[in-house]
C-alpha cells in the first residue's frame, strides 16, 4: 500500500511541476519536429480530449471516476501476488497520480494546462500521459493474464 501512494505522489508531483514550468515559461509554441510535434500552451476546460460537460456534471464525473479508480486499485491489489501486483498497482498509481494532478490544476480556474502537441491529436500534458500509460498497462496486464490463464 505504501508503494501505491509513493508512485501516485511522484506522478502527481512531476505533472504539477511541469504545469508550473509551462505556465511560467512557455509563451510561444516550441517546435520539436517541425509543425508535427512541439510544445504549445493550451488551456482545456473539458475532460479527456477536450470533451465538455455542464460544469456541475463535469466535476461530479471527474470525482466519481477518481474514487472508482481508487476503490479498484485498493480492491484489486490486495488480492494479487507479485509480480502481478507490481504491474497492476503501478498502472493504478499512474492513473491516480495523473487524475489528482489534473484535479489540482483545475481547482483555481476550472481549466487544465496542456502543452504537448503531436499532429492533429488534442494537446495533452504529463498527467494525461500518466493516465493513458496506466490504462494501457492495465489492458496489457489483462491480456497477458487471460493468455496465461488459458
Closest C-alpha to 125, from 140, 104, 141: 104
End-to-end CA distance of the chain: 30
Contacts (Cβ under 8 Å, ≥6 apart) of 131: 94, 95, 98, 99, 102
C-alpha dihedral (50, 55, 57, 59), degrees to nearest 10 = 80
C-beta separation of 89 from 76 below 8 A:
no
C-alpha dihedral (51, 17, 109, 55), degrees to nearest 10 = 30
Instruction: List the catalytic residues.
Output: 114, 128
Residues in the chain: 150
Amino acid at each position: 500500500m505504501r508503494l501505491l501512494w509513493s508512485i501516485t505522489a511522484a506522478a502527481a508531483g512531476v505533472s504539477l511541476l511541469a504545469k508550473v514550468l509551462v505556465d511560467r515559461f512557455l509563451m510561444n509554441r516550441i517546435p520539436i519536429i517541425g509543425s508535427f510535434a512541439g510544445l504549445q500552451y493550451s488551456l482545456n476546460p473539458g475532460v479527456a480530449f477536450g470533451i465538455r460537460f455542464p460544469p456541475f456534471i463535469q466535476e461530479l464525473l471527474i470525482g466519481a471516476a477518481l474514487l472508482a479508480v481508487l476503490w479498484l486499485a485498493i480492491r484489486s491489489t490486495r488480492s494479487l501476488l507479485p509480480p502481478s501486483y507490481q504491474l497492476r498497482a503501478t498502472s493504478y498509481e499512474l492513473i491516480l497520480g495523473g487524475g489528482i494532478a489534473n484535479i489540482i490544476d483545475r481547482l483555481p480556474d476550472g481549466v487544465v494546462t496542456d502543452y504537448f502537441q503531436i499532429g492533429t491529436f488534442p494537446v495533452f500534458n504529463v498527467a494525461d500521459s500518466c493516465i493513458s500509460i496506466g490504462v494501457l498497462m492495465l489492458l496489457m496486464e489483462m491480456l497477458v493474464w487471460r493468455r496465461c490463464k488459458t
